Protein backbone atom coordinates (compact mmCIF):
# COMPACT_ATOMS: atom_id res chain seq x y z
CA UNK A 1 0.00 0.00 0.00
CA UNK A 2 1.33 3.43 -0.81
CA UNK A 3 2.02 5.74 2.09
CA UNK A 4 0.79 9.32 2.08
CA UNK A 5 4.42 10.43 1.90
CA UNK A 6 4.93 8.47 -1.31
CA UNK A 7 1.76 9.88 -2.84
CA UNK A 8 2.74 13.44 -1.90
CA UNK A 9 5.87 13.05 -4.02
CA UNK A 10 3.63 12.50 -7.02
CA UNK A 11 1.62 15.68 -6.65
CA UNK A 12 2.10 18.38 -9.30
CA UNK A 13 0.54 21.66 -10.37
CA UNK A 14 -2.40 21.21 -12.73
CA UNK A 15 -3.13 23.40 -15.75
CA UNK A 16 -5.05 23.68 -19.02
CA UNK A 17 -3.33 20.49 -20.29
CA UNK A 18 -5.31 18.53 -17.69
CA UNK A 19 -8.70 19.59 -19.09
CA UNK A 20 -9.60 16.18 -20.55
CA UNK A 21 -8.63 14.31 -17.39
CA UNK A 22 -10.51 16.74 -15.15
CA UNK A 23 -13.60 16.62 -17.38
CA UNK A 24 -13.67 12.81 -17.44
CA UNK A 25 -13.15 12.41 -13.70
CA UNK A 26 -15.69 15.15 -12.94
CA UNK A 27 -18.18 13.35 -15.18
CA UNK A 28 -17.91 10.12 -13.21
CA UNK A 29 -17.57 11.74 -9.78
CA UNK A 30 -19.97 14.71 -9.94
CA UNK A 31 -22.47 14.24 -12.79
CA UNK A 32 -25.26 13.37 -10.33
CA UNK A 33 -25.01 16.90 -8.91
CA UNK A 34 -24.65 19.07 -12.01
CA UNK A 35 -22.59 19.76 -15.11
CA UNK A 36 -19.28 19.99 -13.28
CA UNK A 37 -17.50 18.24 -16.17
CA UNK A 38 -18.17 21.45 -18.15
CA UNK A 39 -17.39 23.92 -15.38
CA UNK A 40 -14.26 22.52 -13.74
CA UNK A 41 -12.02 22.33 -16.86
CA UNK A 42 -12.63 26.06 -17.41
CA UNK A 43 -11.17 26.82 -13.99
CA UNK A 44 -7.82 25.20 -14.90
CA UNK A 45 -5.40 28.05 -15.35
CA UNK A 46 -7.98 30.62 -14.20
CA UNK A 47 -6.48 33.38 -12.05
CA UNK A 48 -7.21 32.79 -8.38
CA UNK A 49 -7.70 29.02 -8.79
CA UNK A 50 -4.93 26.55 -7.90
CA UNK A 51 -5.18 22.97 -9.16
CA UNK A 52 -3.19 20.05 -7.79
CA UNK A 53 -3.00 16.82 -9.79
CA UNK A 54 -1.98 13.49 -8.25
CA UNK A 55 -0.21 11.06 -10.53
CA UNK A 56 -0.09 7.31 -10.02
CA UNK A 57 2.35 5.34 -12.19
CA UNK A 58 2.74 8.37 -14.43
CA UNK A 59 -0.98 8.75 -15.05
CA UNK A 60 -3.23 11.40 -13.51
CA UNK A 61 -5.32 9.76 -10.78
CA UNK A 62 -6.90 12.66 -8.91
CA UNK A 63 -7.17 16.40 -8.61
CA UNK A 64 -8.13 19.13 -6.19
CA UNK A 65 -9.02 22.77 -6.91
CA UNK A 66 -8.74 25.66 -4.50
CA UNK A 67 -10.09 29.14 -5.22
CA UNK A 68 -10.36 32.45 -3.46
CA UNK A 69 -13.89 32.99 -2.20
CA UNK A 70 -15.67 35.66 -4.18
CA UNK A 71 -17.35 38.58 -2.46
CA UNK A 72 -16.39 41.36 -0.12
CA UNK A 73 -14.24 40.69 2.92
CA UNK A 74 -13.28 42.51 6.03
CA UNK A 75 -9.68 41.55 6.61
CA UNK A 76 -8.26 38.34 5.22
CA UNK A 77 -10.74 36.15 3.31
CA UNK A 78 -11.22 32.39 3.23
CA UNK A 79 -10.28 30.16 0.34
CA UNK A 80 -12.71 27.57 -1.04
CA UNK A 81 -11.99 23.95 -1.82
CA UNK A 82 -13.91 23.79 -5.08
CA UNK A 83 -13.50 20.09 -5.83
CA UNK A 84 -11.47 17.03 -4.97
CA UNK A 85 -11.81 13.70 -6.75
CA UNK A 86 -9.83 10.50 -7.15
CA UNK A 87 -10.34 7.97 -9.95
CA UNK A 88 -12.33 4.97 -8.71
CA UNK A 89 -9.47 2.49 -9.23
CA UNK A 90 -7.01 4.67 -7.27
CA UNK A 91 -9.18 5.27 -4.19
CA UNK A 92 -8.44 4.24 -0.60
CA UNK A 93 -4.67 4.63 -0.99
CA UNK A 94 -4.25 8.02 0.60
CA UNK A 95 -4.43 10.11 -2.59
CA UNK A 96 -7.54 12.06 -1.53
CA UNK A 97 -5.96 12.89 1.82
CA UNK A 98 -2.68 13.91 0.16
CA UNK A 99 -4.58 16.26 -2.18
CA UNK A 100 -6.47 17.86 0.72
CA UNK A 101 -3.24 18.31 2.67
CA UNK A 102 -1.56 19.95 -0.31
CA UNK A 103 -4.49 22.32 -0.70
CA UNK A 104 -4.12 23.28 2.96
CA UNK A 105 -0.44 24.10 2.35
CA UNK A 106 -1.40 26.30 -0.62
CA UNK A 107 -4.08 28.10 1.43
CA UNK A 108 -1.53 28.77 4.17
CA UNK A 109 0.76 30.27 1.56
CA UNK A 110 -2.13 32.51 0.44
CA UNK A 111 -2.42 33.68 4.07
CA UNK A 112 -6.18 33.19 4.16
CA UNK A 113 -8.04 32.71 7.44
CA UNK A 114 -9.52 29.35 6.55
CA UNK A 115 -10.80 27.00 3.87
CA UNK A 116 -14.50 26.48 3.23
CA UNK A 117 -16.15 23.77 1.18
CA UNK A 118 -19.49 22.18 0.41
CA UNK A 119 -20.05 18.50 -0.01
CA UNK A 120 -23.24 16.49 -0.49
CA UNK A 121 -25.03 15.80 2.79
CA UNK A 122 -25.15 12.12 1.78
CA UNK A 123 -21.41 11.96 0.97
CA UNK A 124 -20.24 10.32 4.17
CA UNK A 125 -16.92 9.27 2.61
CA UNK A 126 -15.96 12.85 1.74
CA UNK A 127 -17.18 14.15 5.10
CA UNK A 128 -14.94 11.62 6.86
CA UNK A 129 -11.97 12.63 4.75
CA UNK A 130 -12.53 16.34 5.47
CA UNK A 131 -13.23 15.85 9.18
CA UNK A 132 -10.00 13.87 9.45
CA UNK A 133 -8.11 16.88 8.06
CA UNK A 134 -9.61 19.38 10.49
CA UNK A 135 -12.74 20.58 8.69
CA UNK A 136 -15.76 21.18 10.91
CA UNK A 137 -19.38 21.03 9.74
CA UNK A 138 -20.93 24.50 10.03
CA UNK A 139 -24.30 24.45 8.28
CA UNK A 140 -26.71 22.50 6.11
CA UNK A 141 -27.70 23.94 2.74
CA UNK A 142 -30.89 22.54 1.25
CA UNK A 143 -30.98 22.30 -2.55
CA UNK A 144 -27.40 23.53 -2.84
CA UNK A 145 -26.49 21.65 -6.01
CA UNK A 146 -27.88 22.41 -9.49
CA UNK A 147 -29.66 19.02 -9.47
CA UNK A 148 -31.28 19.75 -6.10
CA UNK A 149 -29.25 17.75 -3.57
CA UNK A 150 -28.49 19.25 -0.20
CA UNK A 151 -24.98 20.01 1.04
CA UNK A 152 -23.12 20.39 4.27
CA UNK A 153 -20.87 23.44 4.59
CA UNK A 154 -17.54 22.75 6.28
CA UNK A 155 -14.67 25.04 7.29
CA UNK A 156 -11.11 24.52 8.42
CA UNK A 157 -9.54 27.45 10.24
CA UNK A 158 -5.90 28.13 9.44
CA UNK A 159 -3.39 29.31 11.96
CA UNK A 160 -1.93 32.70 11.28
CA UNK A 161 1.71 32.16 10.31
CA UNK A 162 4.28 34.19 12.18
CA UNK A 163 6.48 36.34 10.00
CA UNK A 164 10.12 35.31 10.18
CA UNK A 165 12.35 37.98 11.74
CA UNK A 166 15.27 37.34 9.40
C1 LIG B 1 -13.73 11.44 -1.44
C2 LIG B 1 -12.52 10.89 -2.23
C3 LIG B 1 -11.81 12.10 -2.90
C4 LIG B 1 -11.55 10.18 -1.27
O5 LIG B 1 -10.39 9.82 -2.01
P6 LIG B 1 -9.46 8.58 -1.54
O7 LIG B 1 -8.17 8.71 -2.25
O8 LIG B 1 -10.18 7.31 -1.70
O9 LIG B 1 -9.30 8.89 0.03
P10 LIG B 1 -8.13 8.37 0.99
O11 LIG B 1 -7.67 7.02 0.60
O12 LIG B 1 -7.10 9.45 1.08
O13 LIG B 1 -8.91 8.26 2.39
C14 LIG B 1 -8.87 9.33 3.34
C15 LIG B 1 -10.01 9.15 4.33
O16 LIG B 1 -11.27 9.32 3.67
C17 LIG B 1 -12.23 8.43 4.27
N18 LIG B 1 -12.63 7.43 3.28
C19 LIG B 1 -12.14 7.28 2.02
N20 LIG B 1 -12.80 6.29 1.38
C21 LIG B 1 -13.71 5.81 2.26
C22 LIG B 1 -14.70 4.78 2.18
N23 LIG B 1 -14.88 4.07 1.07
N24 LIG B 1 -15.48 4.56 3.27
C25 LIG B 1 -15.31 5.27 4.39
N26 LIG B 1 -14.39 6.27 4.53
C27 LIG B 1 -13.60 6.51 3.48
C28 LIG B 1 -11.54 7.77 5.43
O29 LIG B 1 -11.71 8.60 6.56
C30 LIG B 1 -10.08 7.78 4.96
O31 LIG B 1 -9.19 7.70 6.03
P32 LIG B 1 -8.67 6.23 6.50
O33 LIG B 1 -8.11 5.57 5.30
O34 LIG B 1 -7.66 6.56 7.57
O35 LIG B 1 -9.90 5.52 7.01
C36 LIG B 1 -12.97 9.85 -3.31
O37 LIG B 1 -13.78 8.88 -2.69
C38 LIG B 1 -13.75 10.47 -4.47
O39 LIG B 1 -13.16 10.93 -5.45
N40 LIG B 1 -15.10 10.48 -4.37
C41 LIG B 1 -15.94 11.07 -5.42
C42 LIG B 1 -15.81 12.57 -5.48
C43 LIG B 1 -16.16 13.21 -4.14
O44 LIG B 1 -17.07 12.79 -3.45
N45 LIG B 1 -15.42 14.30 -3.79
C46 LIG B 1 -15.60 15.01 -2.53
C47 LIG B 1 -16.59 16.09 -2.61
S48 LIG B 1 -15.97 17.51 -3.49
The partner residues of 54 in beta bridges, in order of sequence, read 11, 62
pLDDT, mean over the chain: 90
The answer to whether 62 and 25 are in contact (CB under 8 A) is: yes
Q: Are 64 and 97 in contact (CB under 8 A)?
A: no
Q: What is the mean pLDDT of residues 12-16?
A: 96
Kindly give the pairing relationship between strand 114-120 and strand 79-86: parallel
Running DSSP on this structure, what letter comes out for residue 68? E
The helix (run of H) or strand (run of E) holding residue 130 is helix 124-132
Q: Are 150 and 142 in contact (CB under 8 A)?
A: yes
Instruction: Please give the residue that has the higher pLDDT: either 5 or 44.
Output: 44
Q: Whose CA is nearest to atom 15 of ligand 1?
A: 129
Domains in the chain, start-ordered, CATH in brackets? 4-117 (3.40.630.30)
Which residues, in sequence order, are CB contacts of 36 under 8 Å at separation 6+?
Answer: 26, 29, 30, 83
* Residue 126 Cβ contacting ligand 1 at under 6 Å: yes
Lowest mean pLDDT across 1-15, 19-33, 85-99: 1-15
Residue of 88, 125, 126 to test ligand 1 pocket, by largest number of atoms within 8 Å of CB: 125
Between the alpha carbon of residue 145 and those of residues 101, 120, 149, 158, the distances in Å are 25, 8, 5, 27
Query: 112 CA distance to ligand 1 centroid (A)?
Result: 25
Q: What is the pLDDT of residue 7?
A: 58
pTM score: 0.92
How large a percentage of the chain has pLDDT more than 70? 88
Per-residue pLDDT, averaged over 60-68, amounts to 96
| 97-149 pLDDT, tens digit each | 999 999 999 999 999 999 999 999 999 999 999 999 999 999 999 999 999 99
**Of 29, 3, 2, 7, whose CA–CA distance to 102 is shortest?**
7
Would you state the pLDDT for residue 159? 84
Amino acid sequence: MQSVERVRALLRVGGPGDATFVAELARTAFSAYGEYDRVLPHWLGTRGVATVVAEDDGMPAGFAMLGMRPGLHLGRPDAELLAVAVAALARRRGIGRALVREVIVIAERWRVRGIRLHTADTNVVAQRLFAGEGFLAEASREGFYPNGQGAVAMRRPLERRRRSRS
